[in-house]
Amino acid sequence: MCGIGGIYSYKNKLESAERRIKKMSSLIEHRGPDDEGHWIQENLAFCHRRLSIIDTSRNGRQPMIHKETGNCITFNGEFYNYKTFRDRLKKLGYEFHSESDTEVLLYCLHEFGYDFIRKIKGFFAFAFWNEKEKHLLLARDAIGIKPLYYQTKKDEIIFSSEIKPILSQKENVNFNDRAILSYFRYRYNCDNESIFKDINKIPQGHYITIYEDGSTDLKCFWTPPQTFDPNIETSDLAKSLSLSVKERLVADVDIGCFLSGGIDSSSIIANMKEHNYKTHAYTFQLQGNDDESIEAKDFSSQLGFAQSFVGIAEDFDEVFKKAVLALEEPIGDSIIYPTYLLCQKASEKHKVVLSGEGADEILGGYVHHESIFQLEKIRPYLPKNLTAKALEKLKPLLKLNEILKLYPGKLGDESINRLRRYISADTNSERMGLLNSLFHPYSENKLLSPDFRDQLMKYVSPYDQFEERADIYENTLLADLHFWSADYSLLRMDRLGMAHGLEVRYPFFDTDFISQYLLYPKEKRYRRGLRKFHFRKGLENNKYLSKKQIFTKKKPFQIRPDHYFGPKYAKYLKERINSSSALDLNLIDLPSVNKLIDKQKMNLVESKQLFAILIFCIWYEEFNSNRWFNG
């Protein structure tokens, strides 16, 4: 696990190459504090920051060069099945100078061609220079676990694991208006363009070839499943997860685990025990009924594992600022707060941890998944022009209270309005976008300025590309894997983990597991008031999990800043937002924001909206400055 970067000039000699590449490398030192390497040619420069996990000796240093061919690679990630191909290459006459997976990949790309990328089990972002063909290859793993950004100019391309190294090569900053609209709509930027103008992301499951004349060729090597294998059983699910956990225990360093007390992380740690792996669990402590740390403590003690706990920090402003700086693209969700602190704690003893992230995306565990499942039972039978008043009267007959307590009931007074628009919508993509929106253009909430609300109304949602399937539930799962997973969950975990030199691995984000279970019949997912029922049934034979653990309803993991930080948070909100230079953008209706902050009690969506505005203000102040640039 590392950080990579580079510059390729396809027209002229690369001027000031050493200075430029070292500047880029210095900005991702946190991703690889163990070692640093550079490779500089006439028109090409690579940098690499190393977090030593497999072959921790100097033999695993990067960038790595194939002496016979002149090919070079700078690699960020893990190649779990590398030993299989190492044996195969040995039989073909290859000699190895390290025990690293990077050297295996370097030779495989030469021997088997770029189609080999689809055979990699693991996650990655890498750059590969093909000396014979004189072109550069940039690749990103199937799910988008590892980030890879790039910017093309008229005579060069700059790439990096993070955005700041690319900014260091620019003379000024320009923001991407569409990405800002996406942020306010969904709390994150769900697009292949970054929030910085002209800086793009390699799409997950793709690689791009950059040729000598500057032309490019983008190719897809993996797509999510489009069908379901009816022969797959719930018992197979447990076996698939066990194998995925085992693959992610490949390392030359100790591996820890995040443990919340819920079934997702508990199943991971139970599988680690089954594989005779002794781990150390890290748990975040909440307050009140949402806290699962007692269950987590009991479980880790039962398995004989050590455990560390992390709680609310006093200086929340400092945590917010550090998290935003690490994220680079704003995520307007307070979960960034516990994630940052948990990663910080785990990094004190570990370089690698396993996480249950991804279970809800793949297995249909989020509240909007169940909401769609329930809503679609009644929507086809309702007239599209139902008024909010009529819906209120129909509540008892349609048992709407049962649905509204899921979602959008969490939206307070806006719930009936959103439900009415869900029923009247013409397309699946419109319904999906409605349920996933924080600031929806039809909202009665006036926290955004009228001009910006008009822009939001015209925003074309990326969810439109998932309209082709008739089943909105399947559309939603595919869209969540494409957007939410890569641009929200995984971006958050990568940045906040690597900010502390911590690699996070995800057994649920495994391509085989996803191919088997993403489109598993939805009717089997919800039983006895439980989500992911098929997953729970599959775990019944795990001797380390009790029936109570398996079939206990999930508690929501969320930090409401207005609850957890008390009155000082309201004062902080007002001071931070009212003094922010982001107000110059005319996106926010300040009087409405201040009125809401002064409100004695706010509902969940209002709390989330204020936090999203706060994070945008912090982000804008951090990155709308010249301290990142050459100029």
Across 284-323, b (16+ Cβ under 10 Å) vs e yields: bebeeeebbbebbbebbeebebebbebebeeebbebbebb
**Nearest Cα to Cα of residue 543 among 216, 271, 244:** 271
d(CA 413, CA 15): 60
pLDDT of 510 > 90? The answer is yes
- The per-residue pLDDT for range 569-580, each reduced to its tens digit, is 999 999 999 999
Local confidence band at 410 (pLDDT 50, 70, 90 cut-offs) = low
- The pLDDT value recorded for residue 535 is 94
pLDDT of 197 > 90? The answer is yes
Cis peptide before 63 (omega within 30 of 0): yes
- φ, ψ of residue 588 in degrees (nearest 5): -115, 135
d(CA 101, CA 343): 25
- The pLDDT value recorded for residue 105 is 97
pLDDT of 409 > 60? The answer is no
- The pLDDT value recorded for residue 581 is 95
User: Stretch 26-32: mean pLDDT, rounded?
Assistant: 95
- H or E segment and range at residue 135: strand 135-140
- The pLDDT value recorded for residue 408 is 57
Token code pair at residue 371: 């909401």
pTM for this entry: 0.94
- The pLDDT value recorded for residue 467 is 67
pLDDT of 631 > 60? The answer is no
- The per-residue pLDDT for range 255-311, each reduced to its tens digit, is 999 998 889 999 999 999 999 999 999 999 887 666 778 888 999 999 999 999 998
| CB distance 300 to 545 below 8 Å | no
| CB distance 75 to 120 below 8 Å | no
* CA 308 and chain centroid, separation: 24
- The per-residue pLDDT for range 31-48, each reduced to its tens digit, is 999 889 999 999 999 999
d(CA 218, CA 241): 32
Which own/partner pairs from 206-209 qualify as long-range (CB within 8 Å, at least 24 positions apart)? 206/139, 206/140, 207/114, 207/117, 207/137, 207/138, 207/139, 207/140, 208/137, 208/138, 208/139, 208/150, 209/114, 209/135, 209/136, 209/137
Token code pair at residue 54: 């497999």
Token code pair at residue 511: 């391509």
Q: Give the residue extent of every domain in the chain.
A: 2-163+199-220, 227-564, 565-623
pLDDT of 411 > 70? The answer is no
| CB distance 46 to 165 below 8 Å | no
Annotate 538-588 with three-state secondary structure: HCCCCCCCCHHHHCCCCCCCCCCHHHHCCHHHHHHHHHHHHCCHHHHHCCE
From 183-192, 197-206, 350-359, 418-427, the region with the lowest mean pLDDT: 418-427
Domain 2-163+199-220 in CATH 3.60.20.10: yes
Strand-pair partners of 39: 46
pLDDT of 362 > 80? The answer is yes
User: Stretch 327-354: mean pLDDT, rounded?
Assistant: 96
- The pLDDT value recorded for residue 392 is 81
Query: CATH for 227-564, among 2.40.37.10, 3.30.470.20, 3.40.50.620, 3.40.50.300?
Result: 3.40.50.620
Token code pair at residue 497: 């983990």
* DSSP three-state, residue 168: coil
From 316-320, 384-388, 591-595, the region with the lowest mean pLDDT: 384-388
d(CA 337, CA 324): 10
One DSSP character per residue, 300-337 reads: HHHHT-EEEEE---S-HHHHHHHHHHHHSS----TTHH
d(CA 77, CA 209): 20
- The per-residue pLDDT for range 48-96, each reduced to its tens digit, is 998 888 777 788 789 999 999 999 999 999 999 999 999 999 999 999 9
Determine how many CB atoms are found less than 10 A away from the CB of residue 626: 10
- The pLDDT value recorded for residue 293 is 84
Q: Which residue has the tokens 């419109």?
A: 430
Q: What percentage of the chain exceeds 70 in pLDDT?
A: 96
d(CA 513, CA 150): 30
- The pLDDT value recorded for residue 173 is 85
- Out of 212-216, 235-239, 446-450, 510-514, give the one with best mean pLDDT: 510-514
Determine how many CB atoms are found less than 10 A away from the CB of residue 157: 19
The secondary structure of residue 132, as a DSSP letter, is T
Mean pLDDT of the chain: 91
**Nearest Cα to Cα of residue 129 among 86, 65, 85:** 65
Local confidence band at 562 (pLDDT 50, 70, 90 cut-offs) = confident
- The per-residue pLDDT for range 584-598, each reduced to its tens digit, is 999 999 999 999 999
